[in-house]
Amino acid sequence: MKDKIKYGMVGGGPGAFIGEVHRKAAALDGHLELVAGSFSSSAEKSKQMGEELGLDPRRVYSSFEEMAKKEAALPEDERIDMVSVVTPNHLHFPICKAFIEQGIHVVCDKPMTNTIEEAEELCRLVEKHEVLFALTHNYTGYPMVKEARHLVQSGKLGSLRKVVVEYPQGWLAEPVEEQGNKQAEWRTDPQKAGVSAAIADIGTHAENLVEYITGLQIEKLFADTTSFVEGRALEDDANMLVHYEGGVRGILYASQVSVGEENPLNIRVYGTEASLEWNQESPNYLRVKYPDKPEEIHKRGNLYLSDAAGFNTRIPPGHPEGFLEAFANIYKNVALTLQAKKNCKEPDKLATDFPTVQDGLTGVKFIHKAIESGKENHWVEMD
Amino acid sequence: MKDKIKYGMVGGGPGAFIGEVHRKAAALDGHLELVAGSFSSSAEKSKQMGEELGLDPRRVYSSFEEMAKKEAALPEDERIDMVSVVTPNHLHFPICKAFIEQGIHVVCDKPMTNTIEEAEELCRLVEKHEVLFALTHNYTGYPMVKEARHLVQSGKLGSLRKVVVEYPQGWLAEPVEEQGNKQAEWRTDPQKAGVSAAIADIGTHAENLVEYITGLQIEKLFADTTSFVEGRALEDDANMLVHYEGGVRGILYASQVSVGEENPLNIRVYGTEASLEWNQESPNYLRVKYPDKPEEIHKRGNLYLSDAAGFNTRIPPGHPEGFLEAFANIYKNVALTLQAKKNCKEPDKLATDFPTVQDGLTGVKFIHKAIESGKENHWVEMD
Amino acid sequence: MKDKIKYGMVGGGPGAFIGEVHRKAAALDGHLELVAGSFSSSAEKSKQMGEELGLDPRRVYSSFEEMAKKEAALPEDERIDMVSVVTPNHLHFPICKAFIEQGIHVVCDKPMTNTIEEAEELCRLVEKHEVLFALTHNYTGYPMVKEARHLVQSGKLGSLRKVVVEYPQGWLAEPVEEQGNKQAEWRTDPQKAGVSAAIADIGTHAENLVEYITGLQIEKLFADTTSFVEGRALEDDANMLVHYEGGVRGILYASQVSVGEENPLNIRVYGTEASLEWNQESPNYLRVKYPDKPEEIHKRGNLYLSDAAGFNTRIPPGHPEGFLEAFANIYKNVALTLQAKKNCKEPDKLATDFPTVQDGLTGVKFIHKAIESGKENHWVEMD
Amino acid sequence: MKDKIKYGMVGGGPGAFIGEVHRKAAALDGHLELVAGSFSSSAEKSKQMGEELGLDPRRVYSSFEEMAKKEAALPEDERIDMVSVVTPNHLHFPICKAFIEQGIHVVCDKPMTNTIEEAEELCRLVEKHEVLFALTHNYTGYPMVKEARHLVQSGKLGSLRKVVVEYPQGWLAEPVEEQGNKQAEWRTDPQKAGVSAAIADIGTHAENLVEYITGLQIEKLFADTTSFVEGRALEDDANMLVHYEGGVRGILYASQVSVGEENPLNIRVYGTEASLEWNQESPNYLRVKYPDKPEEIHKRGNLYLSDAAGFNTRIPPGHPEGFLEAFANIYKNVALTLQAKKNCKEPDKLATDFPTVQDGLTGVKFIHKAIESGKENHWVEMD
């Protein structure tokens, strides 16, 4: 705690959902302390949020530019080590850039940027300024997702053949963006969300989950994208055929008009020897199936699991951990890595396991290629 | 029972799996009586099977041609009313043709034939000879599938938008056709199975299930087909994007290399008002989800279900019915319809609900179009 | 089939539920043929049922006494080998007695008799007349129940410590016996049901399931019995603490006022090394849990299961078998045993696995001891 | 945050499990700040823990007596508002007493004390010193448990008839207390745990859960208690028949030798109109069953739920919340209530929903009565 990482936040003003999630996730383990923020494009709202959070008013800023500059000018033991970027998509790039250029580490929401060029630029900046950059593909923070990755890496599944990943939601089945739903407004607005809605918002999580667990890169994809809700400019449903490297085949789909679905992000990976299945709504369990013996349910918190699963676990088996704990694993691992860095120590290898700026670039490319395939109606190569 | 329907069987010799299923399904409700058969292309094996089944040896034939002719020549109250065709795919056509031309009703395994032309010919023959023809798309025999159809028809789901249907199996993940597995041998042999393995064997069930529940016809499809097992001539995995009439989008996949999967044929149908989900491995339950109220689990045998579900139910709620009962519903309904016919009565409308020769034609077309799309790598229109 | 077992039925007239279940179960595998019956205490109804079933009118009797006598007088290759007794409880004893004394084998519903004395008398008669007597504790017919028994016998669970078995139903939560429900009428009427309703109807199934799987006898029990529905003479809810031999402790409960429950008969057996759980509403799966490795789901139809499970399985994994198939296993095994007997062969040992007259006696004692404990409010020893 | 509640901790030294849980739960929502502690009976370990947590060394104490006295002597805006008591059971009483007498609010682990007299004394002290006292019966912090309570209170279930609650665990199936397991050591040691192990540790959770959801008091109980592990002084398994007020019947069991079980605390409540079921391992779902319509799954985070469920929810539907979030609800509600108190405002009524010193007294009585019944082998009245 003497080493508590100081962080600031851009976005996450009054009523924002994801900003509050970040703050709770950062608070959970006691490794981080929120000390500064530019919480809204409205200076007044930013101030109000700072008060609610009990921050020193001098460190509540009315713009991210001001915040980046002024924080960087503070004494080293006072200024923020890191910034959390939790705004709508189109602002990620300028904000990240501003802080990276001040040598401030970044935790940023996905998708990383709205264009491939911006994503590539961030990769360059991260390298140049030697900052740590973490992207909140939070589903990879679940212990049993880490266990899934471990099982694949350890060869338990044999050679991989097929991956089926799906992320159906129902909350955009009606034109709620026209009915005052703030979350829906910017996510369906090309000015803010970029070229894509469903793929950018949740399809990238599915894509990242596959890559995290299997290590496989997409070679090409064929997307069938639809806007079901009248008047919506961006797709709210996307079904894809995917070819991964090594001849692995897949289906990936993201939908926000699947009425009645909440967040059952589900992945099935089939190898020559075994297969696995994990579902976000029941995240403490990992199913492993074999051709010739009983199905197994691997359960979070047990000693038979891998170090990676154990490292990201807080409480014993049978007492469920959820979304916030998985999200917090990104913050915890970032904090542990930064603490090591500050103390000139090698961080625990397990702590360095969080999504990076490269994952961000992959995700942005994926979005653009999928949208291109949907429009052009043909297979699109990833690179 | 005085009206017991007399039937014969072609195929289903010693060791055959599906023939035994047909016999049990036909026996369950006491409406049918097996009295004749040509159980194998080997006259000896046919004879052996006839003995095991306690049939009159004079009615155990060494060829289906002989059987069709001789049975037709028997007095009307003695000869078979109906024949069950349970051979490998390539024999369905000539056998069905032979019996239809004798005015004998037919229950036939799917896929109906190996070519579209044969399927169309059977449609014509059925019409011409005014016989009843039932195809064993047995999954539509489950009461809760009938309930799903009822919910769609009654408008409970609103306008349909999306259908996700999947049928993963794992039993062909290894080249078991080279290791003496009879079921695998003919299903992977183009001489017997026709142009397709996985799509013909299980993909058609998925396609038929969608059409049965939703009433939707496929407009076009895009298929990604693969033979994962080295040396296998036909596809063992097929992933498809599907456009149904009315702008409905879908995913349909069939796989026989999905290690560890048994028979979790699963369908999800999304409308504007509600969605439903049914899984063959837990067939007595139908899940219905809404945007704004609790998910419901509709359970077989309850009074709140539709007449169609009730008509196809034998035992009360909570005592599970399974695969054989669903299969038997086809036989029971065919038998009730034939009994009515014999007594010059109008059959109960609920009894006439079984897959027809037209469903068979649709299935055969689906197989051919999907294989074509997979080969040509473009969208293929259904008609 | 040449060896088809001929059987008659007492009870199971028009509208009776369980008689129809017996007939379907007996028909499923083609080993038995219904040839005679006394289906109702009303001669007219009996006749009507016989017609519906297509029986020879000369073999449809107006009383069981007449039936036992006349059938026994028929030539050996014509008369019934076996009788199914599917009447209300109070008639089981005289009927069974009448047929046993004619040397006719018996399949009888549970509970076997209404008094311990009658049950003991049946044991003596069965021994004296050397007939085969099977009791339809049908839940032990499920393949995965047989697997559970196998796992216990093979030592997989270590030494047993605890058994929790429960059978909650909701169908008697209202006084439906006063509203024309025939099933409810006799089950809640002390004149027909005997001293007990819930324990006799379903508690005995729970007791038998424990003994079948674990081999354990009850040493003593403490029961808390209640009649929740006003005016009901017999208990509709019973909760028991049970001491089994060898220091094993247990809970057993049966309830027919548990609103919303259908038939989730559930058993959990805990040993020193592992535990198992099985639920009748999901009967194709058996869960096995360990202290130090993943939970396993053993699934019906797989080669890794025991011979006993395999012997009682008809179709491959993933295609569910249900209540009727389990019920049919009793008939199938009885038929195979009788066929062997008739051919002077030793029956397959696996075929001789069905509940016996001794199980019937145990069940009747259990009912009486539980009711006694509930009334006296103290522990009651079983013998 | 300006109103952040300052708290100290007694217990929760290096390696302690539950202390860490309390700290994370308190941190999650940002309403509390840990500023002082006496973390271990070893002054050195306490100091070490204080350092790890980054506390001011002057506020890390070597005894709780010192801590209570010195904290009380600090200026009001500096000293702790509240103390968390997370030691083994036998220390709860003296610690709570010391802080209450200084007017410091208390959050205390359950069971509250080892004797009924101590529990009664705490009730008097809390009243006299007008402090707030919260007991961490954390399972009542789950939103869907609050929803269950709401459904009962709103009459949805009709008149209650039966409650089945069970808490099986497997972690004490071996004598791990002799193998260095600290958690097991004190829980099985009569000097520290008091008269009971399993009932005190988890049975009280089950008892409290019933009372929280149904509002029912136990009238009398009959317990069957066993120590399965050789040499263990206290019971590791307890099965009880329970009579609640108003003629409601129940089963309650707690076991720590149920091999393979983690924490499936499960409750079923049956009324005349409907029933409900909740399981701690799948805490975001509440099942509601009816006699005549489909089963419903009520899901956390939805607008159709009660205010009480909503008030205790952080993230939207489908993103699971777990054990820590439920635990944190006690801390959050205590903090909100204290903040209101400090500001001389009426707290939000929903915030005052946490277990109290009276619940603690009920729990201690329950433990003693259950142990008495198990020893005396007869029904024991609660009061």
| Percent of the residues in chain D that have a pLDDT greater than 70, as a whole number | 99
Place of tokens 């992207």: A135
> Looking at residue B240, what is its pLDDT?
98
Amino acid at position D148, single letter: A
User: Interior CA angle at B120 toward B115 and B122, to 5°?
Assistant: 100
Mean of pLDDT over chain A: 97
Instruction: For the beta carbon of residue D344, count every other beta carbon within 10 angstroms.
Output: 6
pLDDT reading at A16 higher than 90: no
Please report whether residue C336 resides in a domain.
no
Q: What are A80's two structure tokens?
A: 């923020």
Q: Which of D252, D152, D249, D205 is nearest to D363 (CA)?
A: D205
Q: State the smallest CA–CA distance between residue B219 and chain D in angstroms.
A: 34
Cis peptide before C111 (omega within 30 of 0): yes
User: Which chain C residue's Cα is nearest to B324?
Assistant: C321
User: How far is residue B358's CA from residue B364's CA, in Å, rounded to a whole number?
Assistant: 10
Q: Would you list the DSSP string of C45-114? A: HHHHHHHHTT--GGGB-SSHHHHHHHHHHS-TTTS-SEEEEES-GGGHHHHHHHHHTTT-EEEEPSS--S
Question: How far apart, in Å, are the Cα atoms of C277 and each of A41, A206, C295, D26, D344?
Answer: 57, 34, 11, 38, 54
**B28-45 as b/e: b if 16+ CB within 10 A:** bbbbbbbbbbbbbeeeeb
Q: Which of A122, A117, A114, A318 is nearest to A234 (CA)?
A: A114
> Looking at residue C50, what is its pLDDT?
96
Give the phi and the psi of residue A114 in degrees, each rounded to 5.
-90, -15
- Cβ-defined contacts of C172-175 (< 8 Å, 24+): C172/C197, C172/C198, C172/C229, C172/C236, C172/C256, C172/C257, C173/C228, C173/C229, C173/C256, C173/C257, C173/C258, C173/C259, C173/D272, C173/D291, C174/C229, C174/D291, C175/C229, C175/C230, C175/C231, C175/C232
Mean of pLDDT over chain B: 97
Strands A82-86 and A5-11, sheet pairing: parallel
- Name the 3-class secondary structure at A17: helix
Please report whether residue B327 resides in a domain.
no
Confirm if C337 and C352 have CB atoms less than 8 A apart.
yes
H/E run at residue B213: helix B204-214
CB pairs under 8 A between A and B: 117
Give tens-digit pLDDT for A147-185.
999 999 999 999 999 999 999 999 999 999 999 998 899
Q: Which residues pair with B380 in a beta bridge?
A: B221
Please report whether residue A355 resides in a domain.
no
Q: Which of D51, D27, D31 is nearest to D39 (CA)?
A: D51
Is residue C104 domain-shared with residue C181, that is, in the same domain? Answer: no
Question: Among C80, C96, C131, where does a domain finish?
Answer: C131
Q: Do A224 and B249 touch (CB under 8 A)?
A: yes
Confirm if A278 and A145 have CB atoms less than 8 A apart.
yes
If contacts are CB pairs under 8 Å, which of residues 106-165 in chain B contact chain A? 161-162, 164
For residue A304, give the nearest of C292, C298, C299 by CB distance: C292
As a dihedral over the C-alpha atoms of residue A266, residue A270, residue A275, residue A279, rounded to 10 degrees, the angle is 0
Q: Which of C210, D294, A22 is nearest to B293 (CA)?
A: D294
Give tens-digit pLDDT for D178-212.
999 988 999 999 999 999 999 999 999 999 999 99
Instruction: For the beta carbon of residue C160, count every other beta carbon within 10 angstroms.
Output: 23
CATH of residue C51's domain is: 3.40.50.720
Q: What are D55's two structure tokens?
A: 């506390």
Q: State the smallest CA–CA distance between residue C148 and chain A in angstroms.
A: 14
Give tens-digit pLDDT for A240-252.
999 999 999 999 9
User: Which chain B residue's Cα is nearest to A157?
Assistant: B259
Q: Would you list the DSSP string of D301-365? A: T-TTS-HHHHHT--S-TTS---HHHHHHHHHHHHHHHHHHHHTT-PPPGGGG-S--HHHHHHHHH
End-to-end CA distance of chain D: 44
> Looking at residue B2, what is its pLDDT?
56
User: How far is residue B216's CA from residue B207's CA, in Å, rounded to a whole number?
Assistant: 10
Is residue A117 domain-shared with residue A147, that is, in the same domain? Answer: no
| Percent of the residues in chain B that have a pLDDT greater than 70, as a whole number | 99
Q: What is the average pLDDT across A33-51?
A: 96
What confidence category does residue A53 fall into, taking pLDDT thresholds of 50, 70 and 90? very high
Please report whether residue D341 resides in a domain.
no
Confirm if D236 and D227 have CB atoms less than 8 A apart.
yes
Is residue C42 domain-shared with residue C154, that is, in the same domain? Answer: no
| DSSP assigned state of B60 | B
- Name the 3-class secondary structure at B380: strand
Is residue D108 domain-shared with residue D151, that is, in the same domain? Answer: no
Is residue A65 domain-shared with residue A153, that is, in the same domain? Answer: no
Q: Would you list the DSSP string of D180-207? A: T-HHHHHHT-HHHHTT-SHIIIIIHHHH
Is residue A275 domain-shared with residue A155, that is, in the same domain? Answer: yes
User: How far is residue B287's CA from residue B296's CA, in Å, rounded to a whole number?
Assistant: 6
Q: State the smallest CA–CA distance between residue C210 and chain A in angstroms.
A: 23
Q: State the smallest CA–CA distance between residue B241 and chain D in angstroms.
A: 27
| Spans of chain C below 70 pLDDT | 1-2
**C241 at the D interface (CB within 8 A)?**
yes
Please report whether residue A330 resides in a domain.
no
**B66-79 as b/e: b if 16+ CB within 10 A:** ebbeebeeeeeeeb
Q: What is the average pLDDT across D75-103?
A: 97
Confirm if A196 and A234 have CB atoms less than 8 A apart.
yes
Domain count of chain A? 2
Q: Do D303 and B294 touch (CB under 8 A)?
A: no
| DSSP assigned state of B340 | H
Give tens-digit pLDDT for B362-375.
999 999 999 999 99
CB pairs under 8 A between C and D: 117
Please report whether residue B208 resides in a domain.
yes
Q: What is the average pLDDT across A81-94?
A: 97
Instruction: For the beta carbon of residue B132, count every other beta carbon within 10 angstroms.
Output: 20
**A103 at the D interface (CB within 8 A)?**
no
Is residue B171 domain-shared with residue B218, that is, in the same domain? Answer: yes
Predicted ipTM of the assembly: 0.96
User: How far is residue D244's CA from residue C224's CA, in Å, rounded to a whole number?
Assistant: 13
For residue D28, give the nearest of A24, A316, A319 by CB distance: A24
H/E run at residue B332: helix B323-342
Q: State the smallest CA–CA distance between residue D13 and chain A in angstroms.
A: 15
H/E run at residue B38: strand B32-38
pLDDT reading at D2 higher than 60: no
Is residue B123 domain-shared with residue B150, that is, in the same domain? Answer: no
Residues 6+ apart with CB under 8 A from C323: B315, B319, B320, B321, C138, C283
Give tens-digit pLDDT for A346-375.
999 999 999 999 999 999 999 999 999 999
Confirm if A152 and A269 have CB atoms less than 8 A apart.
yes
Is residue C45 domain-shared with residue C163, that is, in the same domain? Answer: no
Mutant choice from B293, B300, B305 vs D, greatest count of D C-beta within 10 A: B293
Please report whether residue C281 resides in a domain.
yes
**D279 at the C interface (CB within 8 A)?**
no
> Looking at residue A2, what is its pLDDT?
56
Place of tokens 């309703």: C197
Q: Which of A117, D137, C30, A104 is nearest to B35 (CA)?
A: C30
Mean of pLDDT over chain D: 97
Q: State the smallest CA–CA distance between residue D30 and chain A in angstroms.
A: 7
Domain encompassing residue A67: 5-131
Q: How many residues does chain C have?
A: 383
What is the 3-state secondary structure of D32-83?
EEEEEEECCCCHHHHHHHHHHCCCCHHHECCCHHHHHHHHHHCCCCCCCCEE
User: How far is residue B172's CA from residue B189's CA, in Å, rounded to a whole number?
Assistant: 13
pLDDT reading at D151 higher than 50: yes
**A72-86 as b/e: b if 16+ CB within 10 A:** eeeeeeebbbbbbbb
What is the 3-state secondary structure of A35-88?
EEEECCCCHHHHHHHHHHCCCCHHHECCCHHHHHHHHHHCCCCCCCCEEEEECC
Is residue C301 domain-shared with residue C152, that is, in the same domain? Answer: yes
Is residue B146 domain-shared with residue B23, that is, in the same domain? Answer: no
User: How far is residue D171's CA from residue A316's CA, in Å, rounded to a whole number?
Assistant: 11
| Percent of the residues in chain A that have a pLDDT greater than 90, as a whole number | 98
Q: Do A314 and D20 touch (CB under 8 A)?
A: yes
pLDDT reading at D70 higher than 60: yes
Confirm if B145 and B139 have CB atoms less than 8 A apart.
yes
What is the sign, positive or negative, of the torsion defined by CA atoms of B359, B363, B369, B373? positive
CATH of residue A291's domain is: 3.30.360.10
Please report whether residue D161 resides in a domain.
yes
Q: Do C239 and D251 touch (CB under 8 A)?
A: yes
Question: Among B131, B157, B189, where does a domain finish?
Answer: B131
Give tens-digit pLDDT for D312-346.
999 999 999 999 999 999 999 999 999 999 999 99
Question: Among A108, A131, A154, where does a domain finish?
Answer: A131
**B236-266 as b/e: b if 16+ CB within 10 A:** bbbbbbbbbeeebbbbbbbbbbbbbbbbebb
Confirm if C3 and C9 have CB atoms less than 8 A apart.
no
pLDDT reading at B103 higher than 80: yes
Burial class of residue C276 in the structure, from the number of CB atoms within 10 Å of its CB (0-12 exposed, 13-18 middle, 19+ buried): buried
Is residue A161 domain-shared with residue A300, that is, in the same domain? Answer: yes
Q: How many residues does chain B have?
A: 383
Mutant choice from C276, C293, C303, C306 vs A, greatest count of A C-beta within 10 A: C293
